[in-house]
């Protein structure tokens, strides 16, 4: 990918303790494609939710980046919040970050859950 001019950001490699979240969100704004990998623990991570919200809000305003979600061991219904999978994590976030932020995060999850892309099940 790098040889073709494609820069891929992976939180585990690109974002280290002390790095600024603003830098990552700025990089998201420059992206043409975003491939969030939504997993069972995704909603427990405020950084993931902030990034996803930035992606969906930019997509609504500008039509980019294109969002190509991968649902890993979750279903689109889980991500659309039609099950209880993410409920406890979102409630904890409301206590810490407030209802307005929680509502934005829920809207981002619902939007991405409506995009039918790839569903991947882990090993049995």
CB atoms within 10 A of CB 36: 22
pLDDT tier, 40 (very low <50, low <70, confident <90, very high otherwise): very high
> pLDDT tens digits, residue range 12-36?
545 554 555 566 666 667 788 889 9
- Residue 114 near residue 71, CB atoms below 8 Å: no
Domain ranges of the chain: 21-120
Half-sphere exposure of 11 (CA within 13 A, CB side): 16
- Candidate list 13, 14, 51, 94, residue with the active-site label: 51
CATH topology of domain 21-120: Rossmann fold (3.40.50)
Q: Answer yes or no: 51 catalytic.
A: yes
pLDDT one-digit tens code per residue, 66-81: 999 999 999 999 999 9
* pLDDT (average), residues 107-122: 86
Q: What's the pTM?
A: 0.81
Range 43-49 average pLDDT: 94
* Residue 6, pLDDT above cutoff 70: no
């Amino acid at each position: 990918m790098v040889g073709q001019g494609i820069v891929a950001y992976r939180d585990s490699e690109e974002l280290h303790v002390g790095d600024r979240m603003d830098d990552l969100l700025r990089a998201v704004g420059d992206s043409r494609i975003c491939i969030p990998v939504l997993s069972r623990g995704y909603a427990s991570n405020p950084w993931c939710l902030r990034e996803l919200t930035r992606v969906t809000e930019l997509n609504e305003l500008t039509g980019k980046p294109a969002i190509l979600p991968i649902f890993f061991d979750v279903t689109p219904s889980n991500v659309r919040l039609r099950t209880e999978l993410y409920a406890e994590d979102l409630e904890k976030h409301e206590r810490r970050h407030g209802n307005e932020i929680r509502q934005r995060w829920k809207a981002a999850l619902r939007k991405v859950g409506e995009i039918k892309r790839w569903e991947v099940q882990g090993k049995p």
